[in-house]
Amino acid sequence: MTKVTPENRYRNNAKAIEIGNAFWNLSEKHGLAGIVADLDGGELRRADGHRFVNFSCCSYLDLDQHPRVIDGAIAALRRFGVLDHCIPRARVQLPALLELEASLGELFEVQVVSAISASVASAGLLPLLGSGHLSGGRRPLMIFDKNCHVSMSQAKPACADETEVLTCRHHDLDFIEDMCRRHPTVCYVCDGSDSLGGYAPVADLSRLQERYGLYVYYDDSHSLSISGRRGAGHVRSTMAGLDERTIIVATLNKAFGASGAAIMFGGQSHETLRIVERFAGALSYSQPMNTAAVGASMASAEIHRTGELSTLQARLRQKIALFDSLVPTPQAGAGFPIRLVSVPDTQVVELGRALFAAGYYVSPVFFPIVARGTAGLRVMMRVGQGDETIRGLCGMIAGFATRAGDAA
């Protein structure tokens, strides 16, 4: 009998699950995971009546609950008469996706291809990058940022079957430049905006792109809508324009308030866009965004064209500033709506429970999902959180910090 020895060169389920599952089991045991609740007036309500405000939701502008977005979804269902008419879009398609792509393309001044999710987009695009089909036929050395979201890093084994794959330290510009000097074609893969807060050094990377022809693949899901003119997101609004050396993937399921994802291209030929449609993995062979998602996205895009978006962006900045004025974090002053509040390992679950009991849901992160000594709360702001609610949350966090300080 043969025993299998895994390579675990690019992934290691045994290790990831051993660590992650202990975290999740503890979270669930303490009532901080596995929660089921209905939305009710912007708050969440458990079946037993317990109400709480969600400080762990990525719908930063609350567009997910916007009546026009929901009406847009319903109007599209009525108009097209199906959620999807199952046939590859390369053969026959309803006009739904094309209209959405045209609208988002105009909105963000890019070429847009839709996808059912950002992770499906990355799973389909990254191997195409690996085989050189999005880099002029030259297979690039692919450098994945150590911290890039798992939806990108999980593509490493497939990419490694098409080209050479490396992992670099977080935003290691020197390493990337060094590789650009040694390899004719290099592609760097990273988050445009991190799920734990933080932005990619887009301007620095643009300089490497100009100097060496570097390709960059960004997932900018966490900044779409909340950042930049018309909500184009951190990467797009930092760059003057997109050329064929930059690809941005962004979900339409966070601040954009709908469902699905947009892939932003610049200067790609009709031929290349057809290759994406036909060969970018599940983009070609699996279901597309359904018409409800398309209609909601069209409606959200219209909101992005009005002054309402700037108002919502400003309101979010005000919420973030209010939080920063009450609870100090390393992220204070940054534009993104994510804050990491440091809490001693032994107390983070207790604080998370106390906050939840008082009506605030935040995500506690602790060992083994982060190293000992780095536990804390991940707090996410939304425009729908009342100022008094934010003050209430911050008061409890500050009071806890004071007591912890007294005890120390």
240-269 residues in contact with a copy of itself (CB under 8 A) are: 251, 253-254, 257-259
Q: Which two tokens stand for residue 286?
A: 């699996």
The CB-of-55 to a copy of itself minimum distance in angstroms stands at 10
- Please tell me the distance from the alpha carbon of residue 86 to that of residue 93, in angstroms, as a whole number: 9
Instruction: Tell me the closest approach of the beta carbon of residue 357 to a copy of itself, in angstroms.
Output: 15
Residue 353 beta carbon to a copy of itself: minimum distance, rounded to whole angstroms: 14
- Establish if 131 lies at the interface with a copy of itself (CB under 8 A): yes
- Residue among 84 and 242 whose Cβ is closer to a copy of itself: 84
Sheet holding 360-361, edge to edge: 43-46, 51-54, 360-361
What part of residues 272-301 is at the interface with a copy of itself (CB under 8 A)?
274-275, 278-279, 281-282, 285-287, 290, 292-293, 296
Dihedral (C-alpha) 334, 108, 95, 77: value to the nearest 10 degrees?
30
Looking at the Cβ atoms of 12 and 402, the one nearer to a copy of itself is: 12
CB-based burial label for 275 (10 Å; 0-12, 13-18, 19+) = middle
The interface with a copy of itself within residues 2-21 (CB under 8 A) comprises 2-4, 6-14, 16-17, 20-21
| Binds a copy of itself (CB under 8 A): choice among 167, 237, 342, 363 | 363
Name residue, tokens 């708050």: 43
Cα gap 35→92, rounded to integer Å: 41
Please tell me whether residue 32 binds a copy of itself under the rule CB under 8 A. yes
Which range of residues in 86-94, 302-310, 334-342, 343-351 is near a copy of itself by CB under 8 A? Answer: 86-94
Q: What is the spatial distance between Cα 21 and Cα 40, in angstroms, rounded to a whole number?
A: 31
Determine if 91 is a binding residue for a copy of itself (CB under 8 A).
Answer: yes
Give the pairing of strands 246-251 and 215-219. Answer: parallel
Size of the site for a copy of itself (CB under 8 A): 108
Classified as helix, coil or strand, 49 is coil
Helices (H), 305-386: 307-326, 348-357
Residue at token pair 């100090």 = 328
Binding residues among 196-235 for a copy of itself as defined by CB under 8 A: none
Q: Does position 118 bind a copy of itself by CB under 8 A?
A: yes
Q: At a CB cut-off of 8 Å and minimum separation 6, what does 199 contact?
A: 192, 193, 223, 234, 336
Of the listed pieces 139-147, 169-177, 325-333, 346-354, which binds a copy of itself according to CB under 8 A? Answer: 139-147
- Closer to a copy of itself by CB, 279 or 326: give it: 279
Q: Indicate which single residue of 43, 53, 61, 80 sits in contact with a copy of itself (rule: CB under 8 A).
A: 80
53 touches a copy of itself (CB under 8 A): no
Smallest separation (angstroms) from a copy of itself to the CB of 40? 9
| 94 touching a copy of itself, by CB under 8 A | yes
Provide the 10 A C-beta neighbour count for residue 372: 9
- Report the distance separating Cα 320 and Cα 373, nearest Å: 26
CA pair distance 256, 246, nearest whole angstrom: 21
